[in-house]
Amino acid sequence: MSKASDFGVWEGEVTIDLPEQTDAGVYFLGRIRTPWTERKQCPKNARESDAVCTVEVDPRFAPGLKDVESCSHLVLLYWMDRAPRNIVLQVPGHYGVQRGTFALRSPARPNPIAMSVVRLLRIEGNRLSVIGLDCLDGTPLIDLKPYFASTDSVPDAVVGWHRKT
Amino acid sequence: MSKASDFGVWEGEVTIDLPEQTDAGVYFLGRIRTPWTERKQCPKNARESDAVCTVEVDPRFAPGLKDVESCSHLVLLYWMDRAPRNIVLQVPGHYGVQRGTFALRSPARPNPIAMSVVRLLRIEGNRLSVIGLDCLDGTPLIDLKPYFASTDSVPDAVVGWHRKT
């Protein structure tokens, strides 16, 4: 563990040496089209925006979309390919307090996989129109799943550090 | 797209040729310890079990756990390393109807990444005790995140195909 000094790493942030090799590989299944081309344009979280975004699934994988249209909400996993992966303690700009990476939803994490719950508006061929994303235009899609309220919805969940800020 | 014939692929299931190369690499951040060593022992979904499971985060990544103890619930992402990745249409045994892979939470998917919402009981060093998992013992962990009810909880979400079964 060492004090961070790389470009893009802030005072108070701490990095680690990553393993020399990764352990498994992911396929990019398509791309997410959003109105945001720079990070500063992105909403801070997905509930801040009603923008309709488009998920373009590569034709190879599109047969797997059968029955997805019956889902009101989906879980999307996507690859935050511009984020550093070696930061374990970070200082989010809008909070100004050092937090552990795994206590944050920051894109900077060892595996830069974001998870968003989106509302599905419609599917046309291999293109899904959804509401509830906050990522950059062109972000690679790595999975989509049905959202089951029975297992995925916990209305009374608490993030203690956030409640205090 | 071709009719499946591999071991472990069922009548009515359809496979694709996967791309020759993966697009990005993931690190295994630790292992999940559960009571289940064979797939048939695993609960069908996480709400069926109150078993306490243990998430062991590798010491290298453990500094990132700071502040996680203030979260009542977490999102865990883990790598279903024994599942085939080339199935786009599949017939889950307990339903018996052909569905698109992206309409299912099956571990068989192009990127075999499972997402579970778990209740955090406690953290001791680099070990987290949680309730709400259904995976095999030894499953690789690839991310953990705070669960925010404000963006992640949708109590009235519907999976149409499931409601009808």
Spell out which residues of chain B touch residue A16, defining contact as CB-CB under 8 Å.
Answer: 60-61, 63
Q: Which residue of A has its CA nearest to B156?
A: A149
Residue numbers in chain B where pLDDT is lower than 70: 1-10, 45-48, 164-165
Instruction: Catalogue the E-assigned strands of chain B.
Output: 2-3, 14-15, 24-26, 30-33, 52-57, 73-79, 87-90, 99-100, 113-124, 127-131, 139-146
Segment A53-82 shows an average pLDDT of 97
CB of A2 less than 8 A from some CB of B: no
Q: What is the dihedral of CA B35, B57, B138, B73, to 10 degrees?
A: 50
Contact B149, A157 (CB under 8 A): yes
Q: Give the DSSP H or E segment for A130.
A: strand A127-131
* Contact yes or no for B88 and A61 at CB 8 A: yes
The arrangement of strands across the sheet holding B2-3 comes to: B2-3, B14-15, B87-90, B99-100
In this structure, are residues B71 and B146 in contact, taking their beta carbons and an 8 Å threshold? yes
Task: Give the pLDDT confidence score for residue A40 in this predicted structure.
Answer: 81
B84 is written with which tokens?
A: 């085939």
The DSSP bridge partners found for residue A79 are A113
**B65 three-state secondary structure:** helix
The dihedral formed by the CA atoms of B90, B95, B96 and B98, expressed in degrees to the nearest 10: -40
Q: Is the pLDDT of residue A43 over 90?
A: no
Q: Please, where are the H alpha helices in chain B?
A: 149-152, 160-163
Is residue B163 a part of any domain in this protein? no
Q: How far apart, in Å, do the first and last CA atoms of chain A sit? A: 28
ipTM: 0.92
pLDDT of residue A2: 47
Is B161 within 8 Å of chain A by CB? Answer: yes
Both tokens of A36, joined, read 């945001």
Least confident stretch, A138-147, A152-161, B89-98, B155-164: B89-98
Domain extent at residue A61: 4-15+25-148
* pLDDT at B15 (0 to 100): 95
Supply the CATH number for residue B102's domain.
2.40.30.70
3-state class of A111 per DSSP? coil
Closest Cα of chain B to A119: distance in Å?
A: 9
Amino acid identity of A142? I
Q: Domain for residue A159, yes or no?
A: no
Q: What is the pLDDT of residue B81?
A: 85
Query: Is residue A97 in a domain?
Result: yes
CB contact under 8 A, B154 and A149: yes
- Selected for mutation to probe chain B from A60, A111, A133 (highest B CB count within 10 Å) is A111
Distance, in Å, from the CA atom of B13 to the CA atom of A56, rounded to the nearest integer, reads 24
Note the pLDDT of residue A81: 85
Global model pTM greater than 0.80:
yes
Contact A68 B102 (CB under 8 A): yes
The answer to whether position B164 is within a domain reads no
Q: What are phi and psi of B113, to 5 degrees?
A: -105, 120
Question: Residue A23 pLDDT more than 90?
Answer: yes
Say whether A115 and B75 touch across the interface (CB within 8 A).
Answer: yes
Contact B57, B126 (CB under 8 A): yes
Determine whether the interchain pair A111/B14 forms a contact, defined as Cβ–Cβ distance below 8 Å: no
Q: What is the reported pLDDT for A42? A: 82
Tell whether the model's pLDDT for residue A9 goes beyond 90.
Answer: no
The answer to whether residue B155 is domain-embedded is: no
A110 — contact with chain B (CB < 8 Å)?
yes
For residue A48, tell me if it sits in a domain: yes
Q: Looking at the partner chain, which of B1, B22, B101 has a beta carbon nearest the beta carbon of A26?
A: B22
A21 pLDDT above the threshold of 80: yes
Cα–Cα distance for residue pair B98/B88, rounded to 1 Å: 10
Number of domains in chain A: 1
Average pLDDT in chain A: 90
Collapsing DSSP to helix, strand or coil, B17 comes out as coil
Of the pLDDT bands very low, low, confident and very high (cuts 50, 70, 90), residue A165 is low
User: Nearest Cα to A125, choosing from A32, A57, A28?
Assistant: A57
What's the whole-number mean pLDDT along residues A145-165? 91
Closest B-chain CA to A19? B27
Q: Answer whether residue B34 is part of any domain.
A: yes
Q: Is residue A131 part of a domain?
A: yes
Q: pLDDT digit string (tens) for A82-124?
A: 899 999 999 987 778 899 999 999 999 999 999 999 999 999 9
The per-residue DSSP string of A10-76 comes to -TT-EE-PPPSS-SEEE---EEEE-S--SGGGS-SSGGG---EEEEEE-TTTGGGGTTGGGBSEEEE
pLDDT at A5: 43
Pairing of strands B127-131, B52-57: antiparallel
